Amino acid sequence: MCGIVGFTNNINNSNSVIEAMMNRIKHRGPDAEGKYVDEDIALGHRRLSIIDVSSQGDQPIFNEDGSMVIVFNGEIYNYRQIKEKLIAAGHRFSTNTDTEVLIHSYEEYGEKMLNMLRGMFSFVIWDKNKKELFGARDFFGIKPMYYAIMGKTFMFGSEIKCFLEHPDFVKELNTSALENYLTFQYSPTGETFFKNVHKLLPAHYFRLKDGKLSIKRYWDVHFNADEKPSLNEWVTMISDTFHDSVKAHKIADVEVGSFLSSGVDSSYVAAVADVDKTFTVGFGKDEKYNEIGWAKNFSKAIGKENTSKVISPEEYWNSLAMIQYHMDEPLADPSAVALYFVCNIASEKLKVVLSGEGADEIFGGYNVYSDPDGTVYDKLPRALKRGIGSIAEKLPAKRGVNFFVRKGKDVEERFIGNAYMFTPEQRKELLKIKTDAPLPQEITKPYFDNVKNKDDVTKMQYLDLHLWMAGDILLKADKMSMANSLELRVPFLDKEVMALAQRIPRKYRVTHDKGTAETKYITKYAMRLAAKKDTPKQTAQTAAKKKLGFPVPIRVWLKEDKYYNIVRNAFESPVSEKFFNTPKLTKLLDDHRSGKADNSRKIWTVFMFIIWYNVYFENNGKY
């Protein structure tokens, strides 16, 4: 795993600038560094040595005649098979790296090489003869890539913070991203919080030639249910395919470990992977927030060593500025901090770890997926439900009332992903500034349009695969692991696993049949049965255990004087006054403290933005 940076060369001090940019992301690759600079381009690379750990694997890497040069971040798990084909076609190799396979594949196949790959990647290739830059990002967005056009300079990198070192970079807040963030809890579009800085979206590639940038999608998910196989056949296929994916994801010249919470996803990974070490974190002694005891028992049952850490409230709160620095953009997911600490304890013992991200999105695991058609109320006529819902919207928000509001809307109207913080009306009332941010439904509509003839569960999964997973789940996985110089691999997010999962009928992804012991699992139904099949008997109950996933007690902390006052001071600060109607913020905080409402996630969303803004705009990218 590595970090990449680069820019089109229009400056006189390009060597020192590319080095400064590389140093900004040294945490992504502390083992080695390399650069290539000519009159047209500057490319930089920081290396974390995983495959071919000798210096032969240092980047940038060239093709045979030196006419092409590549910088690459990621792992290609089928690179050996591709390499055999390339050797047969006459290509000569000087290293044993997957990086060199990429550059020869591009020589041989052009952009068609992307669909041959199995892995996680973002890379850029400079063709000296054509004066053309080509870059691509992996299928799911496991590895990040950002780019910006500032004047005549095109710059790219694994992290936005490296752009701060370029003399052409203009740092300016994108206020539209702020308004979107208040609803989604992350930045949901191709724009970022920095004006004119963009994400290369997952499964896209770009070309830059003669100053003209073109971007195209090369792959997408296609849910097409195959009703022919039986449930048992699907369970067997899931088991076989997942075993194969885990085997591929263990390819490394260094030791591989596994994260472990009490949920089925990480437990399934740990049981199948047969690694020597597992890693877990928790808070306090309350089982609602601490899975360490369960994880130790599970690890003992499968014969593995578990390393754990109890995160103190002080450690958590003291790390917030550092966390938001590494995120590049504000992220309001409280579990990001827990992920940082589990990556930290893992990095003390090894360089590569497996994790369970992606299982919920591809197999149908979130509780919200069981909502459509899950009650008797859903059988009522649509017009009647919409009428009741419109009446309920005028009532004070409560759990029972929210049910009728939700059921009165089509999935396209109500679902934007696993987090829905502030409604468009609420965020307008909260913000002091005016922006041109689109409505949430304008952001989600293109994705829903792609699956307009599918059932509601499939629609929600498709949306989450493209927004929530890339914008929240994989963002924090990459940034928190790389902050600790740790490579995090996600065997559920494998092209072959997805090819299977997208064929599974809805009834085997999400079921409401509770008639027998074998059908009591509502979400990820077939996958849970596969996990039960592959998990030792002593721990088979993990397939039925409710998912927690490193839960964080922020709702409790925000009622304590110490942390209430920290947040209140932030809400009454000059930065807060600049963007928000602060009396509304303090009311959210006070209502939460008094128990009138659980506003913890809304409070956290604003608080994380303020911390992030202080790091990047008040402290010039320092924490």
Beta bridge partners of 126: 69, 133
| Separation CA 39–CA 314 (nearest Å) | 50
Amino acid (1-letter code) at residue 319? S
Element (H, E) at 76: strand 68-76
Helix (H), strand (E), coil (C) string for 331-370:
CCCCHHHHHHHHHHHHHCCCCEEECCCCHHHHHCCCHHHH
How many residues does the structure list for the chain?
623
| Separation CA 187–CA 471 (nearest Å) | 6
For residues 462 and 221, the answer to whether their CB atoms sit within 8 Å is: yes
Element (H, E) at 239: helix 231-249
| Separation CA 105–CA 80 (nearest Å) | 12
Closest CA to 557 of 598, 587, 596: 598
Paired sense of beta strands 487-489 and 352-354, if any: parallel
Query: Residues near 236 by Cβ (< 8 Å), separated by ≥ 6?
Result: 530
Q: Which tokens is 564 given?
A: 């209430």
Radius of gyration of the chain (CA): 24
Beta bridge partners of 258: 278, 354
| Residue 343: active-site member | no
Catalytic annotation, pick one of 1, 2, 43, 531: 2
Query: Residues near 516 by Cβ (< 8 Å), separated by ≥ 6?
Result: none
Amino acid (1-letter code) at residue 129? N
| Separation CA 208–CA 231 (nearest Å) | 48
Residue identified by tokens 């307009």 is 452
Neighbours of 560 (CB within 10 A): 12
For residues 527 and 359, the answer to whether their CB atoms sit within 8 Å is: yes
Residue identified by tokens 């041109």 is 436
For residues 66 and 23, the answer to whether their CB atoms sit within 8 Å is: no
Beta bridge partners of 47: 2, 32
Q: Which tokens is 91 given?
A: 């290509």
Which residues belong to the active site?
2
